[in-house]
Chains A and B, each alone.
Chain A
Amino acid sequence: MTPNKSLALPAHTVMAAALALAAGGALAQSATETALAVRLDQLSSELAAVKAQMAVLQLRGAQAPATSPAPAPVALPGAAPLPGGFDAAAPSAPAGPATVITSYGEINYNRPVHAPQNGQADVRRLVLGFQHRFDERTKLVTELEVEHAVASASDKGEVAVEQAYIERQLTPLLALRAGLFLMPVGLLNENHEPTAFYGVERNFVETAIIPSTWREGGVQGVASFDNGLTAQGGLSTSFDLNKWDAASTEGRESPLSAIHQELSQARSRDLAVFGALNWRGVPGLLLGGSVFSGQGTQGQASTTARITLWDAHARWTPGRWDLSTVYARGDISNTAALNAPLVGNPTLIPKTFDGFYLQGAYKLWSRGDYALSPFVRWERFNTASAYADLGAGLTPAAARAERVTTLGANFVVSPGVVLKADWQRFREAPDLDRVNLGLGWSF
């Protein structure tokens, strides 16, 4: 079908119109609305008070048969009677609903600067999740993701369980997670909602080198200390090098994304260990690092290969500034033996891959919930920075490191809604230069 040019609007115009509509939507509360809000709040407060009183009565009922008397409530000399008073922080007060629905999503538009005919709009992902608290110490966390809008035999979309784990607070210090969880690596993997990062697309270092959103199945301990240190570590499933497809370019785009298992009938003969330390002892500062190490051939090949990924990261957010950096590096052992039967294919298994980025953002303007934050990010990453020696004429040349500069802005419409726009320049592959527009939300 020939597009009707008189009706066709460039996607960026549509996005701009949406932005204007959102900005113009803030209207002052009318007196009637305020009166209704007052009444609603009164009813809400009264309901909360009734709930709190019921909780107190239930607690008293539960304590009644106890052989030793319950401790007397703290006396408040001079305290006046509080009819209907709601003390939000009383230990027996309800702590919110047991089950909470969560969601985040991204709708992106990518327009190659030199090939606008390849422009593409996409529901990059829609994630629905719920958390259910079984008791004050035990909860379930789940997320179900649909990528690219439609998942069918003839479409590129996929449906995936992104998280499904039980968390139990064992002691004041230590929590334990079991199930399918996000790996504690880098800055983005555990905080990957579109409202949490700058730019329409996630950065390359934390997608091509760290395969965000990277999750594994296993057990994980999380210890939070009063000095600002958080330690995470555990045992998990690992990658599966048998999935490497030397005939495709997938492994060149992201070596670990090509062999991740995501707990989908994951081969589990070989498990992995991982650990992460993050220190947030000074407000606005985060210093951290992580390491993962696991076998990757899962007993399917005569050769064993260890996959190691580590990173160091820092983020500093003084006032309106948001500065961050990540370095990540992956190594795969014994790739010479693994690659020998693959020689002649376009994509052999790299021995080393790594990447680094620097990013700076500044909240330039804000009014109410609106906030505009321009940012710039410089990345250098190489998904095949070294290959194991296969002999003269057979060993592939290391890839050239790609360097990407991203310049753009995030515009927060409300605390859970963000509009994004940026321009990306690729040093090694200028054909990929593009502008991007995005709409994201999270709650």
Chain B
Amino acid sequence: MRFTVLAGALAGAAAALGPASAFAVDYLSAEQAARLMFPDADGFELRRLTLDAAQLQQLDAQGVRARSVGWTVRLAQRAGVLQGFVVADEVVGKVELISYAVALGLDGAVRQIEILAYRESHGHEIRLPAWRRQFVGKGTAAALRVGEDINNISGATLSCSHVTDGVRRIVAVLALARRAGAL
């Protein structure tokens, strides 16, 4: 009986505070995220990057673990003109995978990030716009580290750190690819 009352109260509180915007496991697909982050784009070209050993060592020298040699980049275009880039990636949060996508402008700086899927029991707050906005405008010159220029979320330290590390890696990989003329 008391549980029924409690469940009712929780449901009532949920209704009063308004619905969450998406399902708590899969929020967006990579395609949806790309369109969300580049709403003016009329097309996305998929391009495959393959890093060589020298590039991996360059990243290593920058303190970035490349993790993978293969990267898929979506080139956002409008009327044939390049608008920016989107990379979808996954990192381990605490024990589960977090899927996310990063949009970068032509200046190589982060334009927006979106959480595509979150599966941990704690730390859903990394989806909050206020936390994700911290990345906007940051490029290779930024620290892009939790405890430096990215504030943590208490109780979700590993999720915050690993997503931040992932964004730093994507920023560095795309900068490297652009310098090499691959993008």
- By a CB distance below 8 angstroms, the chain B residues around A341 are none
User: Could you say which of B17, B19, B51, B151 contacts A172, with CB atoms under 8 Å apart?
Assistant: B19
Could you give, for residues 48-88 of chain B, a 1 whenever the CB lies within 8 Å of some chain A CB and a 0 otherwise? 10011100110010010011111010100100000000001
- By a CB distance below 8 angstroms, the chain B residues around A222 are 121
Which of the candidate stretches A8-16, A32-40, A382-390, A391-399 sits at the interface with the other chain?
A32-40
User: Could you say which of B67, B95, B149 contacts A100, with CB atoms under 8 Å apart?
Assistant: B95
A319/B18 in contact, CB under 8 A: no
A233/B10 in contact, CB under 8 A: yes
- By a CB distance below 8 angstroms, the chain A residues around B95 are 100, 102, 131
Quick check: is A119 within 8 A (CB to CB) of the other chain?
no
- By a CB distance below 8 angstroms, the chain B residues around A196 are 157
- By a CB distance below 8 angstroms, the chain B residues around A284 are 151-153
Q: With A228-B128, A317-B152 given, is the CB distance from A38 to B52 under 8 Å?
A: yes
Tell me, in angstroms, the Cα distance from A187 to B19 when the chains sit together: 27
Which of the candidate stretches B26-34, B103-111, B175-183 sits at the interface with the other chain?
B26-34
* CB interface residues, A 75-105, toward B, < 8 Å: 76-80, 82, 84-91, 95-96, 100, 102
Least Cβ distance of A181 to chain B in Å?
A: 10
Q: With A86-B72, A196-B157 given, is the CB distance from A172 to B128 under 8 Å?
A: no
- By a CB distance below 8 angstroms, the chain B residues around A223 are 10, 13-14
Q: With A88-B90, A89-B88, A286-B155 given, is the CB distance from A231 to B13 under 8 Å?
A: yes
B68/A41 in contact, CB under 8 A: yes
Number of interface residues, chain B, beta carbon within 8 A:
84
Q: With A90-B29, A96-B97 given, is the CB distance from A317 to B151 under 8 Å?
A: yes
User: Could you say which of A34, A89, A173, A187 contacts B56, with CB atoms under 8 Å apart?
Assistant: A34
- By a CB distance below 8 angstroms, the chain A residues around B89 are 88-89
Could you give, for residues 261-286 of chain A, a 1 whenever the CB lies within 8 Å of some chain B CB and a 0 otherwise? 00000000001010000101111101
B14/A234 in contact, CB under 8 A: no
Could you give, for residues 124-168 of chain A, a 1 whenever the CB lies within 8 Å of some chain B CB and a 0 otherwise? 000000010100110001000000000000000000000000010
User: Could you say which of B13, B25, B69 contacts A169, with CB atoms under 8 Å apart?
Assistant: B25
- By a CB distance below 8 angstroms, the chain B residues around A202 are none
Q: With A89-B101, A415-B158 given, is the CB distance from A221 to B32 under 8 Å?
A: no
Tell me, in angstroms, the Cα distance from A137 to B26 when the chains sit together: 10
Tell me, in angstroms, the Cα distance from A229 to B95 when the chains sit together: 23
- By a CB distance below 8 angstroms, the chain B residues around A87 are 30, 72, 88
B57/A29 in contact, CB under 8 A: yes
Quick check: is A227 within 8 A (CB to CB) of the other chain?
yes
Quick check: is A191 within 8 A (CB to CB) of the other chain?
yes
- By a CB distance below 8 angstroms, the chain A residues around B47 are 80
A90/B30 in contact, CB under 8 A: yes
Least Cβ distance of B46 to chain A in Å?
A: 5
- By a CB distance below 8 angstroms, the chain A residues around B31 are 73-74, 76
Least Cβ distance of B30 to chain A in Å?
A: 4
User: Could you say which of B29, B60, B145 contacts A29, with CB atoms under 8 Å apart?
Assistant: B60
B interface majority secondary structure: mixed
Tell me, in angstroms, the Cα distance from A173 to B20 when the chains sit together: 6
Tell me, in angstroms, the Cα distance from A173 to B158 when the chains sit together: 22
Which residue of chain B lies nearest to A170 when distances are taken between CB atoms in the complex?
B24
Quick check: is A333 within 8 A (CB to CB) of the other chain?
no
Tell me, in angstroms, the Cα distance from A225 to B18 when the chains sit together: 8
Number of interface residues, chain A, beta carbon within 8 A:
82
A89/B154 in contact, CB under 8 A: no
- By a CB distance below 8 angstroms, the chain A residues around B9 are 233
- By a CB distance below 8 angstroms, the chain B residues around A38 are 51-53, 56, 69
B29/A76 in contact, CB under 8 A: no
Tell me, in angstroms, the Cα distance from A141 to B56 when the chains sit together: 37
- By a CB distance below 8 angstroms, the chain A residues around B157 are 196
Tell me, in angstroms, the Cα distance from A169 to B117 when the chains sit together: 13
Which among A88, A169, A234, A281 has the greatest number of chain B C-beta atoms within 10 A? A88
- By a CB distance below 8 angstroms, the chain A residues around B121 are 141, 167, 175, 222
- By a CB distance below 8 angstroms, the chain B residues around A34 are 53, 56-57, 60
Which residue of chain A lies nearest to B41 when distances are taken between CB atoms in the complex?
A77
Quick check: is B42 within 8 A (CB to CB) of the other chain?
yes
A82/B69 in contact, CB under 8 A: no
Least Cβ distance of A41 to chain B in Å?
A: 4
Tell me, in angstroms, the Cα distance from A88 to B136 when the chains sit together: 22
Least Cβ distance of B79 to chain A in Å?
A: 11
**Known pairs A38-B52, A80-B47, A102-B95. 7 more at Cβ < 8 A?**
A45-B68, A45-B69, A224-B124, A271-B2, A286-B155, A320-B147, A415-B158
Chain B interfacial positions (CB closer than 8 Å to A): 2-3, 6-7, 9-11, 13-14, 17-26, 28-33, 35, 42-48, 51-53, 56-57, 60, 63, 66-70, 72, 74, 77, 88-90, 92, 94-97, 99-101, 116-117, 119, 121-122, 124-125, 127-128, 130-131, 134, 145, 147-155, 157-158, 161
Cβ contacts A to B, 14 pairs, < 8 Å? A38-B51, A41-B66, A45-B68, A76-B43, A86-B72, A89-B101, A137-B25, A223-B14, A224-B124, A284-B153, A317-B152, A318-B151, A319-B147, A368-B63
Q: Which 7 A-B pairs have the closest CB atoms?
A: A284-B151, A77-B43, A89-B88, A286-B154, A89-B30, A283-B151, A45-B70
